[in-house]
Amino acid sequence: MQGLLEGKVIVVTGAGAGVGKGIAIEAARQGAKVIVNDLGVAIDGTGGNAGPAQQTADEIRAFGGTAAANTDSVAEWKSAQAIIQNALDLYGRIDGVVNNAGNLRDGIFHKMSEEDFDAVVRVHLKGCFNMSRAASPHFKTEETGAFVHMTSTSGLIGNFGQANYCAAKMGIVGLSKAIALDMERFNVRSNCIAPFAFTRMVESIPTTTPEGKARMEVNRRLEAEKIAPFTCALLTDAAKNVTGQIFGVRNNEIYLFSQPRPIRTAHCGTGWTVQGCLDVAIPMMQPSFYALDRSKDVFSWDPV
């Protein structure tokens, strides 16, 4: 039986471990030729070695799949171009890009350094742009192609001590929608997934309180490999009409997230004054205000 990605060439960034590794392996099992991109860096983006990318590629080849390791950086324009060119040189085409590479430099906002903010935005948001922009001309020529970008409920909902990460992950949502709109005429689609998975990035989150330790025990049940099936489904031709959406995957659960739309309106026929806004507009809308929720407040039930 042919796989659902038979004949396709897929690039997966951050595929040396965790969510990215699971996606790369599943894509190969579905028949895709895979470029396994990973710098082999530490959680904060420092260091680097070819081991993780090569190990994933070796595992794919061990079961008869086709894969090649790549250690170029998504954060730099030229090296992102080189990743896509690697796919073209080896396999002659490019059909899908999974933007999964990431780093973490957490810190409370009023203490966050410019370096830590820039480093996270550069990998997550700029990296998504670099990779997508590098692949887009080829998708346009072929009049087909799929992007899957990893966002996070840290951006969609909120989280403590992650201003850089939250900003980057919410920026990815806007970028994905813009790509979907601009590339629709070429049959190119772009979607986001917020993955819930226990990875080394999640493991690095401090757990100094009893609540935090209990939450970490729940997180340990989130299997990184379970993000792969839905990701690969979005890369198939059967999902050619799915674009501009935001999904979530948590073990055996798949979510479709809402997108910002007006929910209340206040009108003043004579025009608003500052005092009028305070006396009328804000009180009218206040019942519909959102609480300062974090991801754990919204996803308050255990994964299934």
- Tokens read off for 182: 């601009």
Q: How confident is the model at residue 218 (pLDDT cuts 50, 70, 90)?
A: low
pTM of the complete model beyond 0.85: yes
Kindly state the percentage of the chain with pLDDT values over 70. 90
Residue 2: per-residue pLDDT? 74
183 C-beta neighbours (distance < 10 Å), count: 19
Give the fold, CATH level 3, of 9-259.
Rossmann fold (3.40.50)
Task: Tell me the C-alpha distance between 103 and 45, whole Å.
Answer: 6
DSSP character for 109?
G
Q: What is the pLDDT of residues 237-268, one digit of tens each?
A: 999 999 999 999 999 999 999 999 999 999 99
Share of the chain above pLDDT 90, in %: 85
pLDDT higher at 209 or 142: 142
**Which residues are catalytic, by number?**
165
Separation between Cα atoms, residue 136 and residue 145, nearest integer Å:
8
Convert the pLDDT of each residue in 118-135 to its tens digit. 999 999 999 999 999 999
Residue carrying the six token digits 């990605």: 5
Residue range 68-79: mean pLDDT, rounded: 98
**Residues whose CB falls within 8 Å of the CB of residue 132, separated by 6 or more in sequence, listed in order:** 97, 99, 147, 149, 175, 179, 190
At 119, phi and psi to the nearest 5? -65, -40
pLDDT at site 301: 86
Q: How far is CA 155 from CA 118, 199, 255, in A?
A: 16, 18, 16
Average pLDDT score, the chain: 93
- What are 34-63's pLDDT values in tens digits? 999 999 867 777 766 679 999 999 999 999
Question: What pLDDT shows up at residue 43?
Answer: 72
Instruction: Give the residue among 285, 258, 231, 243 at the shortest CA–CA distance from 157.
Output: 258
d(CA 115, CA 295): 26
